Amino acid sequence: MIRLTARFAQLDDALLTEITAAREAVAQCEVYRSLAAGEEAYALAMLCDDEKGMAALLERSGQFPALSQIFTDGDVEIYRQSSYQLADGCWTPTDATTEPGPIMWPAAGPVSIVIQGAYQPNELMRELTAREIAETRREPGCIHYAWYENIELPDHLMLLELWSDQRIYDLHWQGRMRSVELRGDSGRQPAPMLRGEPSREFYRQQAFELHYGMFLPREPERYAETVRWGAR
């Protein structure tokens, strides 16, 4: 699967109609609203079966003007979907053994995280989550941190995190583990999802911009002409 997320500032009224139509072409297409206090911000989550599926969607961009605008103006990240599980305090790929291997694959640049799930109705959840967002954003090296709620499915949330580097994320996570009792109840108790599956995904950040019908790395120095690198 190819995972695409995009953060954007304004919600076009036509977008709901477009994402419903887009679901016929992709595995997932959901729009979320930020739960940060006083913040008008949104996020798109999309899954395509492969790059051919993404290409087919882009070829139909004329049918999805609002969605195409998000691709053009939003903060877009694209990856080969990579799911993780927590094992002995360490986030580990679900398709790998939980035992440490002989190779420590290198971290590289900012750490980007996508978490999706559904939660039991709780009148305190949004207040507690808004407080968590504000507290986390104060941490050193936090580039972005927000829980978002699906605009169609109440209590279906997505967390997007972006940390400046692996060392900073390690410090953040270790602090979280040490302060569980101090932080108390998050107000989020898992529940079955009405659409899609729960996910916990970790990535070495890859930002993209849409130019002439093609997603290109945001940093021109990452353009590659003589090597066709695979997705990661």
Per-residue pLDDT, 97: 65
Length, in residues, of the chain: 232
Q: What is the mean pLDDT of each run of 10 residues along the chain (232 residues)?
A: 97 92 95 97 98 94 94 97 92 80 91 98 95 97 99 98 98 90 83 97 98 94 93 84
Is the overall model pTM greater than 0.85, yes or no? yes
Looking at domain 2-218, its CATH class is alpha beta
DSSP assignment, residue 105?
P
Per-residue pLDDT, 101: 79
DSSP per residue, 35-63: -STT---EEEEEEESSHHHHHHHHHTGGG
| Residue whose C-alpha is closest to residue 137's, from 33, 35, 12, 28 | 35
